[in-house]
Structure 1
């Protein structure tokens, strides 16, 4: 069973394990300093959890912490993000978690972006009602170069 709950301090070590996985970073492509440095990670999560404009939840599969999902940004540019630990990919967890998260948020549109070659993430977003609305290029630290990205919107 997949469920969401508020983030607890005890979840952060699992999040760090998920976010600092080099193979998962390569698939996600667009990473930040907090994916590589525990100090930046701790600062990032302290800011996210303290910001009332950010809705962030721990993703549980049968009571095990398997990832996180969040909605953030200004009201007219709200964006979703999620990260599921690589050991749990391919089981429908991301789709169930994102669907549950967007039920908690009345704001529309919601936006997302993904590496154009990240078919799994694009499929999750589309299953949750997002449609491709554009393309972009951006620097992907995990791949040390520019990549193609797709932009998606849930109206």
Structure 2
């Protein structure tokens, strides 16, 4: 299904508004990665938190594709993290200052680093905006993609 340029423009405007809000209200508490996963699912985007070794939590986001170099292992549209697990319910948390979003490609393409003072809503909005832009570009809708924006 094609991405509507008007919808993408609304997402971009919302992300810009959240950026301004994040700059005005710093967030020092850890990000709740499980909350971000739920917000993504509520937006219709597949996501889950995975333990990726050494106590590290990573969010896998979007559609799966086979890894061309290791077919049994899937790749996702985006990954986000790193984080850690806490408590008996093993909730996942992350530092806003160390959080990044990038393609699931072992670091071959640049990632987006969090400015460090953002909320779960801001990160989730950025993920939705980024994945929508990637999907639009993969469908050949270059008019919907602004080349001057620095997203992953």
Instruction: Please confirm whether the aligned pair reaches a TM-score higher than 0.5, indicating the same fold.
Output: no
Task: Determine which structure has greater relative contact order: mean sequence separation of CA pairs < 8 Å that are 6+ residues apart, divided by chain length.
Answer: 2
Q: Which structure is higher in helix share?
A: 1
Q: Which structure is higher in strand share?
A: 1
Q: Give the greater-gyration-radius structure (CA).
A: 2
Give the alignment's TM-score, normalised by structure 2.
Answer: 0.31
Give the alignment's TM-score, normalised by structure 1.
Answer: 0.30
